[in-house]
């Protein structure tokens, strides 16, 4: 089986666009939080989120008309374009070989869907905007990337495994390249802020009124966020041949399902998923230097996840951070952004901080690298993702050798 490396990173986020700016923001511990403007928040007692501001789709969409792409698709396309450019590979070179485009999402085109729902409520089904209706199917995300880059010979899939979808998409691309089914993969995740998701988490009492503070004893929930990250994955040999820089090697991944509860994570199952990932990567727990946790900032998630981490890694687990403290919960993009952060951390020898941190909850019992990034040689990094429906996926990245 072939080894697979990350040679390009593209990012759209509330704290920075592009790999360079994103890395800088992670190092500085920037916060993307602010009042939500993407939809009308009248009637909610609080409505902070991590919105991408000043995004210009025209900068990135050259072949796909902007009007045909929903916001999440625009994010995915922008991130994919950046990843290809960042890898220093010509689009024409990608067109000549079989590839994978695999984009994870929670909401897909739901932001358009809920605006159509508003039309139905205020007017009628007949009054729906046909262009918006065409943007709703989630397949548009991955297909949009292929269309924009002119990729014909591709296996396109929009992976809809909710809040773990980014890692699923990376795993899918990794397997295709590792098995020799594809010569490259553009894998990641994208989501746009969505009223439905915000309302759902709000109703569950899982949205923090102010800021996202994972692992803190006073944490009160997530902030919903948006963005995208796409990684260009290539076989190690091919990357070497063309003299490409590798941020990180994808060592392996694991995925499983709690098969237990729609909403509440199951600690034992999360533990098993981490064990599967480490076994797939051929890595022992004591070799892991950093965990990028799912770390949503809800009471239940952080306690359960940290409990599972301690089961695998013992009472002194590696540093465990949550980039959601900066980015909010970007849903299907979350673990893709997490993986991008891990790869950038490996390449730049630093650990992104968990910001907004006061006092660590003893129930979490981890070193979350509060508020300030630290320099560190990172050889093996683990990126966790959990989702509603018990869809877990854990990706393990390593320093390229």
Partner 1 sequence: MNALVAERSDEIKQLVCRVLEVDAEQVSETDLFIDDLEADSMKMIELLAHLEIEFDVEIDEDELARLVNLRGVYEVLSAALDA
Partner 2 sequence: MTGAVVTAWSAISACGVGRAALRAGQARPTRVDGGPGDEAFLAADFVVDEALGTKGTGSMDRSSALGIGVVGDVLAGLAVDERTGVVLGTTSGSAQTQLEFTRDSLTRRKPYFVNPATMPFALMNSAAAQAAIWHKLTGPNSTIAGGRLSGLGVLRYGTRLLAAGRASGVVCGAVEEYSAARAWLEEHRGRRGSLLGEGAAAVFVEPAGSPRPVLAEVLGIETRVAVDGDPEAALASGVRRVLERAAIEAGDVTTVALSAPGGLLGEAERAVADAAFSGLTAVVDPAEAVGDVGAAIGMFQVVAVLDRPGFALVTALDDDGTVGCGLLRVPDVS
C-beta closer to partner 2: residue 143 or 351: 143
Task: Please report whether residue 124 would count as binding partner 1 according to CB under 8 A.
Answer: no
Q: Which stretch binds partner 1 (CB under 8 A): 48-56, 202-210, 247-255, 306-314?
A: 202-210
- Take residue 29 and report the two structure tokens written for it: 């511990």
Task: Please report whether residue 279 would count as binding partner 1 according to CB under 8 A.
Answer: no
**Interatomic CA distance for residues 109 and 133, integer angstroms:** 9
Task: Please report whether residue 96 would count as binding partner 2 according to CB under 8 A.
Answer: no
- Take residue 34 and report the two structure tokens written for it: 């602010």
Task: List b or e across 331-370, with b for residues whose CB sees 16 or more CB atoms inside 10 angstroms.
Answer: bbbbbbbbbbbbbbbbbbebbbbbbbbeebbeebbbbbbb
Q: Is the dihedral of CA 149, 150, 152, 156 positive or negative?
A: positive
C-beta closer to partner 2: residue 175 or 361: 175
Q: DSSP per residue over 177-215, as a string?
A: HHTTS-SEEEEEEEE---HHHHHHHHHTT-B-SS---TT
User: Applying CB under 8 A, which of residues 90, 127, 131, 264 lies at the interface with partner 1?
Assistant: 264
C-beta closer to partner 1: residue 221 or 398: 221
Residues 324-353 interacting with partner 1 (rule: CB under 8 A): none
Q: Which of partner 1, partner 2, none binds 255 (CB below 5-8 Å, type-dependent)? A: partner 2
Q: Which of partner 1, partner 2, none binds 264 (CB below 5-8 Å, type-dependent)? A: partner 1
- Take residue 54 and report the two structure tokens written for it: 């000043």
C-beta closer to partner 1: residue 44 or 57: 44
Q: How far is the CB of 302 from partner 2 (least distance, A)?
A: 20
Chain-centre distance for alpha carbon 285: 23
Active site residues: 163, 294, 329
User: Applying CB under 8 A, which of residues 58, 262, 315, 401 lies at the interface with partner 1?
Assistant: 262
User: Applying CB under 8 A, which of residues 92, 243, 262, 315 lies at the interface with partner 2?
Assistant: 262
Task: Please report whether residue 136 would count as binding partner 2 according to CB under 8 A.
Answer: yes
Task: Please report whether residue 108 would count as binding partner 2 according to CB under 8 A.
Answer: yes
Task: Please state, as a whole number, how many other Cβ atoms lie within 10 Å of the Cβ of residue 75.
Answer: 35
Residues 178-217 interacting with partner 2 (rule: CB under 8 A): 178-179, 181, 195-196, 199-200, 202-204
**Interatomic CA distance for residues 233 and 58, integer angstroms:** 26
User: Applying CB under 8 A, which of residues 14, 31, 48, 105 lies at the interface with partner 2?
Assistant: 105
Contacts (Cβ under 8 Å, ≥6 apart) of 273: 254, 255, 256, 392, 393, 394
Q: Give me the 368-387 binding string for partner 2, x by CB under 8 A, dash otherwise.
A: -------------------x
Determine phi and psi for 97, rounding to 5 degrees.
Answer: -125, 155
Q: How far is the CB of 314 from partner 2 (least distance, A)?
A: 24
Residues 300-329 interacting with partner 1 (rule: CB under 8 A): 300
Q: Which stretch binds partner 2 (CB under 8 A): 16-24, 86-94, 148-156, 366-374?
A: 148-156
Element (H, E) at 273: helix 267-281
Is the separation of the CB atoms in 38 and 255 below 8 Å? Answer: no
What residues line the site for partner 1 (CB under 8 A)? Answer: 203-205, 261-264, 300
């Amino acid at each position: 089986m072939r080894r697979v490396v990350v040679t390009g990173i593209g990012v759209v986020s509330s704290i920075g666009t592009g790999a360079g700016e994103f890395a800088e923001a992670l190092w500085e511990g920037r916060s993307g939080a602010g009042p939500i403007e993407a939809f009308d928040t009248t009637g909610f007692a609080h409505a902070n989120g991590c919105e991408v501001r000043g995004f210009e789709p025209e900068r990135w969409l050259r072949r796909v008309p902007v009007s045909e792409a929903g916001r999440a698709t625009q994010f995915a396309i922008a991130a994919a374009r950046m990843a290809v450019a960042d890898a220093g590979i010509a689009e024409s070179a990608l067109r000549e070989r079989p590839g994978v485009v695999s984009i994870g999402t929670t909401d897909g085109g739901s932001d358009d869907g809920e605006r159509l729902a508003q039309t139905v409520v205020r007017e009628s089904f007949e009054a729906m905007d046909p262009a918006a209706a065409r943007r709703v199917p989630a397949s548009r995300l991955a297909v949009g990337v292929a269309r924009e880059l002119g990729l014909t010979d591709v296996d396109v899939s929009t992976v809809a495994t909710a809040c773990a979808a980014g890692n699923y998409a990376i795993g899918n691309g990794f397997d295709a390249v590792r098995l020799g089914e594809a010569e490259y993969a553009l894998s990641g995740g994208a989501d746009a802020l969505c009223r439905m998701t915000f309302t759902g988490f709000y109703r569950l009492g899982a949205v923090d009124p102010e800021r996202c503070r994972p692992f803190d004893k006073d944490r009160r929930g997530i902030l919903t966020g948006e963005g995208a990250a796409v990684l260009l994955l290539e076989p190690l040999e091919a990357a070497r041949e063309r003299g490409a820089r590798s941020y990180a090697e994808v060592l392996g991944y694991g995925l499983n399902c709690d098969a237990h509860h729609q909403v509440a994570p199951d600690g034992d199952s999360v533990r098993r998923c981490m064990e599967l990932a480490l076994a797939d990567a051929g890595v022992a727990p004591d070799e892991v230097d950093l965990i990028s946790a799912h770390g949503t900032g809800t009471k239940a998630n952080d306690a359960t996840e940290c409990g599972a981490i301690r089961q695998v890694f013992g009472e002194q687990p590696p540093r465990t951070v949550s980039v959601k403290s900066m980015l909010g919960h970007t849903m299907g993009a979350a673990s893709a952004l997490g993986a991008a952060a891990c790869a950038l951390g490996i390449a730049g020898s630093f650990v992104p901080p968990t910001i907004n941190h006061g006092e660590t909850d003893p129930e979490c019992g981890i070193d979350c690298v509060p508020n300030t990034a630290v320099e560190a040689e990172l050889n093996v990094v683990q990126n966790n993702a959990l989702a509603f429906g018990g869809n877990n996926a854990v990706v393990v990245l390593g320093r390229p050798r």
